[in-house]
Structure 1
Amino acid sequence: MYQGYEWVATPPPTQRAPEPPRLRLPYLGPPRYRTPPRWGFPALAWRWPTAVVGVAEEAPAAVERVRGRARFAASALWLLAAVAVIAAGAEIWRYVLLLESRTGALSRGVVQWSDSLVTTGSVLSIAAGIISVTTVIWWLHAARDAAAEAAGYTPARPDWHLVPGILVPGVNLVVPGAVLAELEHAILRRPATDRPRPSPLLTTWWLTWSAGGLLFATTLLWRLQDSAQAQADGVLLTAATNLAAAATAVLTIRVVDRLSLLLAPIVPSSVRRLRVVRVETATAPTRAPRPTTASR
């Protein structure tokens, strides 16, 4: 650029002298200590980062909540189905004893056992039913949130409609099926403007649920009669109601499992863990030579 001039680049002056190159010592093996070192990680089992004090906890995703709550709901429903079948058997046994009492006297111990089994079955059925309804509503709330997140639109019914729609007599024959049909519609990513069309499984559940509700109401009204024949018929109606409750519980388990599987297709417990058996390569991997100065 400028003729007759020569440019020389020099580093800027500094007060510190340049450090001499560090001498790299040969590898002498892993470190050795005269006593066990006191530093390092604490002697604790591995834990999630959210368990550490001072770290903000993150709420689990909606899909993860659906998986966990579906397991709780299925367990409660299986308990309800088992207890309902036992209660139905107790009612049938009572009806058999009523038939036998027409021709002769019954043993006092047998009658007491029958009454105890009927009472226990009734109490356990009511308790299991309350637990099952609570867990299913809990699962349904998470499933609606996950479906709304996946479909991109909010459900047509607000959440506060769920409890009255399940508990109010008469209304609970229609609203639960409609809510599940809307949930299935959203899970399948169908347009919000289309009318929900329940699947055959959901339709079967809806009919079984409604039939069980009508049978329960009929049994309560029939029990109000005072005649002996009406009381005997009430025993059979109670047994049929318990069997209907067991069938509804089993179908509810299938519906919950199907909708949960549609929301979360991959179940962690069903994934097969892979294990490395061998590595096939063109050449064997080379290993660095061991220093002669290594202690071991």
Structure 2
Amino acid sequence: MSTVVQPCARCGARWAVHGAPMHWCPRCRGVLLSPGPVDAPPERRNYRWVARKPDHRGGRGTGRPRAEAAAGTPCYAEIPRWGLLDTPAAPDTAPAGRSARAAAAAGRLLLWTALAFALAALAELGRYAILLYNRTRLVAPLLLRVSDAAVLTFAVLAGVLALLAAIAAVARLIQLRAAAYALVGRRDPRSPRTLLLGSLIPVLNLVWPGVFLTEAFTGRRDPRALRLIRIWWVFWVLGGTVAVAALCWRTADSLQSKADGVLFTALTDLVAAAVALLTFGVLNALSGRDLRGRARAAHRLTVAVDPAVPVIAPLHRTEQARSTADARQNSAAGDNTGDEAVDREQEEVGAK
């Protein structure tokens, strides 16, 4: 009996190898895998077994109706000892406090702030269109009241949401700094009050938020964090400068300057919306999340240091195989009955 077999990829039967390997299964005409020892361990094979439903053989080509699934909750008779994912254990989460809830709401508030500023920009553009229309025609008083109400409503809403988003972003900043300093075994040298005042006081908040983020992420292995912080810092200062310029423009006296101020205010709202979206992306990137705010999947890599070994040991012709080949050649020179006597027979090895 040969100790080298070829498993069938379709029916699972294993056929003994006598001489040259075969390609097709004599039973089901399925593809035969590469030859290998009958008791070869998994690391010596160049194929892998695939789990299938227990009834996949009986339902193949028989035309019989499938049995209906049993009602009720599916369950296992014992604990499964197989799996496809090796998910890292989730860290223990402490009870969420007020600061943690505010930090968790920072992403949603920033998105709502960006939407409010975009609507405020549309309201300002609508008012500018009314001003252009009013150059040659009269405008209905109702349209003016609706335009004024839209501009005032969205401006106030955007301002309130921007303040709430700033407070929540500072709470997220405190968490990021605490986690960054914990990685190097240190404690944040700045108090939460200092971080809050430096990030919310006008004019000072153009400088200190960038300083706070740069302090926490300086010296990290990934240089993209500092590059991202610097890009955000430039846009943050640009947004603050444009906002101050828009406030100063409102002091103009001429009609043309006021009309240009409306258009410039719309541009300011669009810049503010872009800054809110950029802040949302930066906070998620520094927190290890994607652009949608979802946690990135952990990649667990293993370095392969073992030497390369053959998957299946090479086949060597034994004395029995040589004698069989010689007998076949001698019988071929004699008569056809000798050919039938030494014709190769396939021997099926039962599944282990």
| TM class, shorter-length | 0.5 to 0.7
Do structure 1's residue 177 and structure 2's residue 201 form an aligned pair? no
Instruction: Provide structure 1 residue ranges, at least 5 long, that are not aligned to the other structure.
Output: 1-57, 191-195, 272-281, 284-296
CA distance in 1, matches of 2:295, 2:281: 19
Do structure 1's residue 168 and structure 2's residue 195 form an aligned pair? no
Please identify the structure whose Cα radius of gyration is greater.
2
Alpha-carbon spacing, 1:144–1:68, altered in 2? closer, same or farther (3 Å): same
CA distance in 2, matches of 1:213, 1:205: 12
Letter in 1 for 2:243: F
Cross-structure match for 1:94: 127
User: For residues 113-136 of structure 1, what are the alpha-carbon distances to aligned partners after superposition, in whole Å with 9 as ceiling and x for unaligned?
Assistant: 211110111111011101101111
CA distance in 2, matches of 1:61, 1:128: 26
Letter in 1 for 2:233: W
Match of 2:94 among 52, 60, 67: 60
RMSD, aligned CA: 3.1
Deviation of 1:71 (Å): 3.8
Do structure 1's residue 105 and structure 2's residue 105 form an aligned pair? no
Match of 1:216 among 215, 240, 243: 243
* Helix, strand or coil at the partner of 2:287: helix
Cross-structure match for 1:245: 272
Instruction: Provide structure 2 residue ranges, at least 5 long, that are not aligned to the other structure.
Output: 1-91, 299-350
* Helix, strand or coil at the partner of 1:199: helix
Higher helix residue share:
1
CA distance in 2, matches of 1:82, 1:178: 28
CA distance in 1, matches of 2:100, 2:193: 22
Q: How does 1:192-231 map to 2 (within 5 A)?
A: 199-231=226-258
Letter in 1 for 2:153: T
Cross-structure match for 2:76: none
CA distance in 2, matches of 1:259, 1:117: 36
Deviation of 1:82 (Å): 0.4
Cross-structure match for 2:184: 151
Cross-structure match for 2:348: none
Cross-structure match for 1:288: none
Alpha-carbon spacing, 1:258–1:176, altered in 2? closer, same or farther (3 Å): same
Q: Number of residues paired by the alignment?
A: 205
Match of 1:82 among 102, 115, 122: 115
TM-score by length of 1: 0.61
Structure with the greater relative contact order (CA < 8 A, sep ≥ 6): 1 or 2? Answer: 1
* Helix, strand or coil at the partner of 2:183: helix
CA distance in 2, matches of 1:202, 1:140: 12
Cross-structure match for 2:166: 133
Deviation of 1:164 (Å): 2.5
Cross-structure match for 2:287: 260
CA distance in 1, matches of 2:98, 2:124: 39
User: For residues 194-228 of structure 1, what are the alpha-carbon distances to aligned partners after superposition, in whole Å with 9 as ceiling and x for unaligned?
Assistant: xx996332222111110110111111111122221
User: For residues 42-67 of structure 1, what are the alpha-carbon distances to aligned partners after superposition, in whole Å with 9 as ceiling and x for unaligned?
Assistant: xxxxxxxxxxxxxxxx98189x9998
Cross-structure match for 2:259: 232
Match of 1:119 among 152, 166, 176: 152
CA distance in 2, matches of 1:67, 1:189: 27
CA distance in 2, matches of 1:241, 1:129: 14
Deviation of 1:94 (Å): 0.5
TM-score by length of 2: 0.52
Aligned residues with identical type, % of pairs = 36
Deviation of 1:79 (Å): 0.2
Deviation of 1:76 (Å): 0.3
User: Is residue 67–residue 260 contact of structure 1 (8 Å, CA) maintained in 2?
Assistant: no
CA distance in 1, matches of 2:295, 2:244: 42
Deviation of 1:137 (Å): 1.0
CA distance in 1, matches of 2:148, 2:206: 31
